[in-house]
Amino acid sequence: MSDLRTHIEQLVRQALQELPGLSSLEPARSEPPSGPLPAPPGAPVLRFGKRVPLVAANWKMNQLSASARAFLTALEGHDRLGVQTVICAPHVLLPVLAAARRQADLVLGAQNFYPEPAGAFTGEHSLDMLADAGAGAVIIGHSERRTLFGEADALVARKLSTAVARGFMPIFCIGENLAERQAGATFRVLRNQLVAGLSGLLPPFPEPERLVFAYEPIWAIGTGLTATAEQAQEAISFVRERLAEKFSYAYAEKVRVLYGGSANEKNAAELAAKPDIDGFLVGNASLQAATFAAIIARTAASKGRP
């Protein structure tokens, strides 16, 4: 009986895989990919190391205007060595930072918004308001928004397409929780989050440099546990392969994918040395300018930008 059931399940799985459009919704294999996805005929071979590294601070619900200004002054005293730097601050601090900022290439980002242009949405902020306050980037799909504030895939997808249409640089977060990792479901979770999150993104796509992803294993966020460089590289290369499926190989090659989850000045060098890890989304260790600057410096060094 159970043999018959297994056989039927196998047949259904096979049939689903053969139906165009459905295969991407199928649960992914739970084993790590054995190697890079074969490039379609004529596609350029994926080459890495051509992306500008990016390090983003996620201050979450921290800092006041005085500490935000002091942070900015201190950070601007460090050479950022060509690493694109984003500070995702609480909304009320964006105008404070915009006024204090001396270096225009320091990008300000928000941590949330509501994907409508205006209207009766008590307590929310539109992208126009955030742009007006100085933000050019925004975090979308962070696990704290998903779990603490109940943001489901449909809202996350709408936020992504709205942010892209409005010219913002989204930092789109995905990641598995501990139970999912332990169950061998990491790749399935990442694939499903990507398929759902990217579903509203239709051609023409933004320039690939303006689309940023962050792999943030939930079990590593704020816990002091970090994914090993190998675990992070494996997950991020899986993400890049899925991006190549959605867009193209040439496009995916230019998209930055960050690691987030207890990244700090001690582990940044080893993580950033991995070919697919293009930088970091940093929570706790982004609250002090010296520590954040050290992460930027380690990233630059590992990416060969001394």
Residues of this chain that interact with ligand PGA (CB under 6 A) are 58, 216, 221-222, 260-263, 281-285
* 265 token code pair: 């000045």
Comparing CB distances to ligand PGA, the nearer of 56 and 72 is 56
Centre a 10 Å sphere on the Cβ of residue 272 and count the other Cβ atoms it contains.
Answer: 26
Closest separation in Å from C-beta 194 to ligand PGA: 18
Calculate the alpha carbon distances from 139 to 111, 173, 270, 300 in Å. Answer: 5, 7, 25, 22
- Helix (H) / strand (E) element for 246: namely helix 229-246
* 253 token code pair: 């090659």
Comparing CB distances to ligand PGA, the nearer of 231 and 262 is 262
Closest separation in Å from C-beta 58 to ligand PGA: 4
Contact between 281 and 173 (Cβ < 8 Å): yes
Task: Select the residue whose beta carbon is closest to ligand PGA and give its number.
Answer: 283
- 52 secondary structure, DSSP code: P
Say which residues have a Cβ less than 8 Å from residue 25's Cβ, sequence separation at least 6.
192, 195
> What is the rounded CA–CA span in Å between residue 117 and residue 139?
18
Comparing CB distances to ligand PGA, the nearer of 262 and 302 is 262
Comparing CB distances to ligand PGA, the nearer of 250 and 290 is 290
Comparing CB distances to ligand PGA, the nearer of 215 and 247 is 215
The torsion region of residue 228 among left (phi > 0), alpha (psi -120 to 50) and beta comes to beta
Closest separation in Å from C-beta 261 to ligand PGA: 5
Closest separation in Å from C-beta 195 to ligand PGA: 22
* 60 token code pair: 């979450």
Contact between 243 and 205 (Cβ < 8 Å): no
Closest separation in Å from C-beta 88 to ligand PGA: 9
Closest separation in Å from C-beta 143 to ligand PGA: 7
Query: 261-270 burial by CB neighbour count: b if 16+ within 10 A, else e?
Result: bbbbbebbbb
Comparing CB distances to ligand PGA, the nearer of 140 and 282 is 282
Q: Which residues are catalytic?
A: 142, 216
Calculate the alpha carbon distances from 171 to 67, 78, 85, 203, 270 in Å. Answer: 24, 24, 12, 19, 22
